[in-house]
């Protein structure tokens, strides 16, 4: 049985995504338990320098113009051979649009088990035990990672990205890209958020509203609170889908990743697609009427109260304190 733990490095437009460092940090105790190495898989076009701060024992780098932009098709074809040859104990992918597409296809194509939305995978009595957030994060499923090789997708929150960064560049082994044949997918361009609005990714205080805000009129209560706190309002997908807030204010997998000093989550359940984009906030405070809402797994502080009752009172208190 293979011992190494593979990690697929996600990068976009010349930048390694934080989830890659989180996965490398998660892989370290796994490799220590199996007696293997943490092996980063980096696919790119002229992107070898992205390996420089990866906390891996070694990096397998594959270069091809087909990897200049991510397409699941090119990645799937290239990684098939890598997994077959290397037979790792586990291969970790982000529980992201990129990782989900690649891992799902590889699992089906190679007949390998896939455990998705893992928050942790830890050594236990000679095996690896996973904790997976299923049903939108409402249920924590635990089990033993199947042998000999299992694929894992990982949600953020279990480790900080800094734990997956190394001060020194790891050894890089360049492996030839396989013949990729006729690829049917190409990237034609990136959709940029409309200009003219604030960039929530750069804001220090975010008052974020979810479906719990109940209707468009209540957005005003959040605006007043944000103004008092010196921040801006953003929201979860249902709020943007109903056009209570513009797309530029969407936080999450389909929106922006944010890292404010304060993230105030009001009436947000904490689905994986949302929390993956807020996990690196300095402080998360959640307000939710449901004591079991998954957002409380991530929040430093929480209040189980009605947001609609709380917001005006909080705004007044902040104004008075000023």
| Binding footprint of ligand FAD on the chain (CB under 6 A) | 136, 210-212, 236-238, 250-255, 267-269, 271, 273-274, 287-290, 293, 306-308
CB of residue 90 vs ligand FAD: minimum separation in angstroms?
A: 24
CB of residue 72 vs ligand FAD: minimum separation in angstroms?
A: 14
CB of residue 144 vs ligand FAD: minimum separation in angstroms?
A: 27
Determine the Cα angle at 56 with ends 125 and 31, to 5°. 10
CB of residue 185 vs ligand FAD: minimum separation in angstroms?
A: 18
Whose Cβ is closer to ligand FAD: residue 32's or residue 305's? 305
Give dist(CA 54, CA 126) in Å, integer.
Answer: 27
CB of residue 129 vs ligand FAD: minimum separation in angstroms?
A: 26
Q: What is the CA radius of gyration of the chain?
A: 21
CB of residue 289 vs ligand FAD: minimum separation in angstroms?
A: 4
Q: At 24, give phi and psi (nearest 5°).
A: -65, -40
Give dist(CA 257, CA 201) in Å, integer.
Answer: 6
Whose Cβ is closer to ligand FAD: residue 49's or residue 242's? 242
Whose Cβ is closer to ligand FAD: residue 161's or residue 212's? 212
Q: Which residue is nearest to ligand FAD (CB)?
A: 252
Whose Cβ is closer to ligand FAD: residue 47's or residue 271's? 271
Give dist(CA 225, CA 1) in Å, integer.
Answer: 56
Give dist(CA 210, CA 288) in Å, integer.
Answer: 10
Element (H, E) at 208: strand 205-209
Give dist(CA 302, CA 294) in Å, integer.
Answer: 11
Scanning the structure block, which residue is given the tokens 């929390």?
275
Show Cβ contacts of residue 260 under 8 Å, excluding neighbours closer than 6 positions: 203, 204, 205, 206, 231, 281, 282
Partners of 130 in beta bridges: 121, 143
CB of residue 184 vs ligand FAD: minimum separation in angstroms?
A: 22
Whose Cβ is closer to ligand FAD: residue 158's or residue 294's? 294
SS3 110: helix
Whose Cβ is closer to ligand FAD: residue 175's or residue 308's? 308
Other CB atoms within 10 Å distance of the CB of residue 167: 6
Whose Cβ is closer to ligand FAD: residue 99's or residue 210's? 210
By residue count, the chain amounts to: 322
């Amino acid at each position: 049985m293979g011992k190494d733990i593979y990690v697929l490095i996600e990068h976009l437009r010349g930048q390694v995504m934080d989830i890659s460092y989180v996965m490398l940090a998660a892989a370290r105790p796994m490799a220590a338990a199996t007696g293997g190495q943490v092996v980063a898989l980096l696919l790119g076009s002229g992107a070898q320098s992205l390996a420089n701060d990866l906390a891996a024992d070694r990096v397998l780098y594959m270069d091809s113009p087909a990897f200049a932009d991510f397409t699941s098709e090119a990645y799937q074809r290239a990684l098939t051979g890598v997994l077959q040859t290397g037979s790792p104990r586990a291969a970790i992918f982000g529980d992201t649009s990129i990782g989900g597409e690649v891992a799902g296809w590889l699992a089906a194509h190679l007949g390998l088990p896939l455990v998705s939305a893992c928050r942790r995978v830890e050594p236990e009595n000679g095996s690896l035990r996973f904790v997976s957030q299923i049903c939108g994060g409402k249920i924590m499923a635990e089990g033993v990672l199947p042998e000999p090789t299992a694929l894992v997708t990982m949600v953020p929150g279990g480790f900080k990205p800094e734990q997956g960064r190394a001060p020194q560049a790891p050894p890089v082994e360049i492996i030839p890209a396989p013949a990729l044949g006729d690829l049917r997918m190409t990237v034609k361009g990136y959709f940029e958020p409309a200009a003219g609005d604030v960039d929530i990714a750069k804001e220090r205080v975010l008052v974020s509203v979810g479906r719990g805000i109940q209707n468009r009129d209540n957005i005003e209560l959040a605006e007043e609170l944000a103004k008092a706190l010196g921040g801006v309002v953003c929201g979860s997908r249902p709020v943007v889908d109903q056009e209570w807030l513009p797309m530029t204010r969407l936080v999450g997998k389909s929106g922006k990743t944010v890292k404010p000093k304060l993230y105030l989550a009001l009436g947000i359940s904490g689905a994986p697609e949302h929390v993956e984009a807020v996990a690196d906030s300095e402080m998360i405070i959640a307000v939710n009427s449901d004591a079991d809402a998954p957002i409380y797994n991530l929040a430093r502080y929480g209040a189980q109260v009605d947001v609609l009752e709380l917001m005006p009172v909080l705004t007044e208190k902040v104004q008075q304190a000023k």
